């Protein structure tokens, strides 16, 4: 692609936008809640316990209800997830994460619709997730 002044200006403006996002209050709350979550030993213990049982959950998914430990593991996954989700630092982080995602979704929608109303814009990561996915924050949509 041949670089033009318009192209360079667009890149400059996109960099300005990303800097605005990085320095926003929403991002600061996200960073702070992430830091607090990482520093909380009990929360980290709950996350590790959930991730451990999640591996068992993924194993039984191959067989579904026919797996001999299906009911036991499903109960353990729900219990571990509930304990993790009810922890104050985990809950605060998830709220901050959701708020940051909302900000990014709103910006993406604004940019897309500025170009054309026919552009499809993923909301809340809807097009970015496939099946049972679990992020680094420990949230898992499988056992809800």
Domain boundaries, the chain: 25-112
Q: Tell me the C-alpha distance between 120 and 70, whole Å.
A: 39
Both tokens assigned to 84 = 């993790």
pLDDT in tens, 7-52: 888 899 999 999 999 999 999 999 999 999 999 999 999 999 999 9
- Confidence (pLDDT) at 5: 86
> 65 versus 97: which is more confidently predicted?
97
The pLDDT of residue 140 is: 44
Full-model pTM: 0.74
């Amino acid at each position: 692609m041949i670089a033009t002044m318009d192209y360079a200006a667009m890149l400059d403006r996109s960099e300005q936008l990303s800097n605005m996002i990085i320095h926003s209050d929403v991002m600061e709350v996200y960073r702070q809640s992430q830091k607090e979550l990482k520093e909380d030993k009990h929360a980290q213990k709950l996350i590790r316990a959930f991730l451990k049982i999640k591996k068992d959950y993924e194993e039984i998914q191959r067989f579904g209800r026919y797996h001999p430990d299906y009911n036991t593991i499903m109960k353990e996954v729900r219990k571990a997830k509930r304990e993790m989700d009810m922890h104050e630092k985990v809950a605060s982080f998830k709220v901050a994460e959701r708020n940051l995602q909302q900000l990014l979704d709103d910006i993406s929608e604004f940019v897309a619709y500025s170009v054309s109303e026919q552009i499809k814009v993923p909301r809340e990561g809807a097009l970015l997730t496939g099946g049972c996915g679990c992020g680094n924050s420990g949230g898992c949509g499988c056992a809800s």
